[in-house]
Amino acid sequence: MTRVRESVIAGARGLFLSVIMLAGSITLFVLSVLSIAFITLGIGVFTTPLVLTGVRKWADLRRAQAGAWSDVHIPRPYRPFPADLRRGVTGQVERTSLLLKDPATWRDLQWLLVDMTAGYVTVIFAPALLLYPLYGYVLALGVWKPIYDAGGGEWYGFIHVTSQTDANMAALLGTALGVVGIFSSPAILRAHFLLTRSLLAPTVSMRERELALRVDRLTETRHDAVDSSAAELRRIERDLHDGAQARLVAMGMDLGTIEAMIEKNPAKAKELIAKARQNSGEALTELRDLVRGIHPPVLAERGLGDAVKALALRLPVRTDVDVELLGRADEPVEAAAYFAVSEALTNTIKHAGADRVWVDIHHAQGMLRIAVTDNGKGGASIGAGSGLSGIERRLGTFDGVLAVSSPAGGPTMVTMEIPCELS
């Protein structure tokens, strides 16, 4: 019964695909060809991104069906758009150019052409082998006779039905076809999705190209990490030299003066002792602040969620923090995420003019996702020299990504994603 149920489900899915793929694939293929052809007229610059985005969504739907229905996993080979992609006509031209330069776009169009032809022929057998036998039984029940009397020579497969014996043979053939369908429908559906994967999945050259881009990206982020580390070391040295070190040197000089004056002028010595005590306290405070800037103790002791909550308490605007973490990430990832959130909040306080901030932190599907949202004036963007570009470089070290949505008038949402596992 399990096999029969699986075959019936596969046949129903095949019938569903055979109906929608003709309408969807033919329509999208025709629109894509026309839209690309109209680029020379200027119209295609505006229609091509919309149509090709629709093609990608259609292909993604088939990828999802392949994984859910036949356990055939088809990766997405599309190149991501730059985070600073411009808007308006210039942005449309650039978006169209990026889409047409992506090899995956042309593979999608090739897939549409095959999907409406060979793909249809492949998938239609899954429901046909289950439905066609029913017609053999209908003929055997006597329907063959009025057809024959009306002058029709009905054929069922290779059997010319002109008598009840022929009709019974048609029913027997239908039974055989039904048995074949029960055992083969899931395999036929899977074969259709394997054909789809051969066209939609990235080729070896595409994977090599993507791997090269990934290596370049990692090389760039590693250089950024080295530069950031060097800058951080210089900051620490400067803070030590100008802060705690200067106070400790002054305190040592005061102690030497006290040693020389303690017998001759006890009152003055007592005054210098009080000053030395004050300098030691201030030096200790500066050292604690310096250490906290390197790695906050609450981050090491209680994790990212509590560290961000503690950070939010020190902000001058109301900040709501929502954390859903069922474990802790590796220490370097937690530190990168913490300082990225800290930088994002600092940018919000300095530039957004907001009076409310929301921070959402959760982990799903192997990805740490953080969203910092404010109700400020908007207009934030990732650009050279901006705080957001620094966050992007920091996340890039861990193969993370940054996205910013900040229309004029707000609100602004800064979304960060870092691939990691929790323990």
pLDDT of res. 229: 54
In terms of domains, do 52 and 123 share one? yes
pLDDT of res. 376: 85
Q: 3-state class of 382 per DSSP?
A: coil
Q: What is the pLDDT along the chain (423 residues), one digit of tens a residue?
A: 788 888 889 889 999 998 888 889 999 999 999 999 998 888 888 899 999 999 999 999 999 999 999 889 988 888 877 765 656 556 788 888 889 988 889 999 999 999 999 999 889 999 988 888 888 888 888 888 888 777 767 888 888 888 888 888 988 998 998 888 888 999 999 999 999 998 998 775 555 555 666 666 666 555 555 555 555 555 555 555 555 555 666 666 667 777 677 777 777 777 777 777 776 766 666 565 555 555 567 777 888 888 888 888 888 888 899 998 888 888 888 888 888 888 888 888 888 888 889 999 999 888 899 999 998 888 877 765 566 777 887 787 777 888 888 888 878 888 888 888 888
pLDDT of res. 334: 86
Q: Number of structural domains, the chain?
A: 3
In terms of domains, do 232 and 273 share one? yes
CB neighbours of residue 267 within 10 Å: 8
Q: 3-state class of 273 per DSSP?
A: helix
pLDDT of res. 251: 65
Q: Where are the alpha helices (DSSP H) in 322-411?
A: 331-347, 387-396
Query: Please, what is the Cα angle at 334 between 328 and 340, to 5 degrees?
Result: 145
In terms of domains, do 354 and 369 share one? yes
Q: What CA–CA distance (Å, rounded) separates 415 from 419?
A: 13
Q: What CA–CA distance (Å, rounded) separates 27 from 224?
A: 46
In terms of domains, do 311 and 379 share one? yes
In terms of domains, do 177 and 35 share one? yes
Measured in whole angstroms, how far is the alpha carbon of residue 334 from the centre of its chain?
20
Residue 239 in any domain: the answer is yes
pLDDT of res. 250: 63
End-to-end CA gap in the chain: 42
Q: What CA–CA distance (Å, rounded) separates 58 from 53?
A: 9
Note down the domain range covering 402: 299-419
202, 236, 255 - which closes a domain: 202
How distant, in Å, are the alpha carbons of 215, 313, 371, 423 from that of 309? 36, 6, 14, 21
pTM, 2 dp: 0.50
pLDDT of res. 395: 81
pLDDT of res. 115: 92
Q: What CA–CA distance (Å, rounded) separates 55 from 32?
A: 8
Q: What CA–CA distance (Å, rounded) separates 19 from 21?
A: 6
pLDDT of res. 216: 60
In terms of domains, do 48 and 196 share one? yes
The DSSP output letter for 287 is H
**Residue 381 sits in a domain of what CATH number?**
3.30.565.10
Residue 369 in any domain: the answer is yes
Q: DSSP for 160-176?
A: E--SHHHHHHHHHHHHH
Structural tokens at position 156 = 């069922």
In single-letter form, the type of residue at position 104 comes to A
Q: 3-state class of 41 per DSSP?
A: helix
pLDDT of res. 55: 94
In terms of domains, do 103 and 177 share one? yes
pLDDT of res. 48: 92
In terms of domains, do 314 and 405 share one? yes
In terms of domains, do 118 and 159 share one? yes
Asked whether the bond before 266 is cis by omega within 30 degrees of 0, the reply is: no
Q: Where are the alpha helices (DSSP H) in 314-382?
A: 331-347
263, 279, 294 - which closes a domain: 294
294, 327, 351 - which closes a domain: 294
pLDDT of res. 408: 82
In terms of domains, do 198 and 93 share one? yes
Q: What CA–CA distance (Å, rounded) separates 273 from 282?
A: 14
In terms of domains, do 142 and 169 share one? yes
Residue 210 in any domain: the answer is no
pLDDT of res. 31: 94
Q: What CA–CA distance (Å, rounded) separates 22 from 17?
A: 8
Q: Which residues contact 180 (CB under 8 A, 6 or more apart)?
A: 129
Q: Which residues contact 322 (CB under 8 A, 6 or more apart)?
A: 358, 359, 360, 361, 362
Residue 207 in any domain: the answer is no
Q: 3-state class of 42 per DSSP?
A: coil
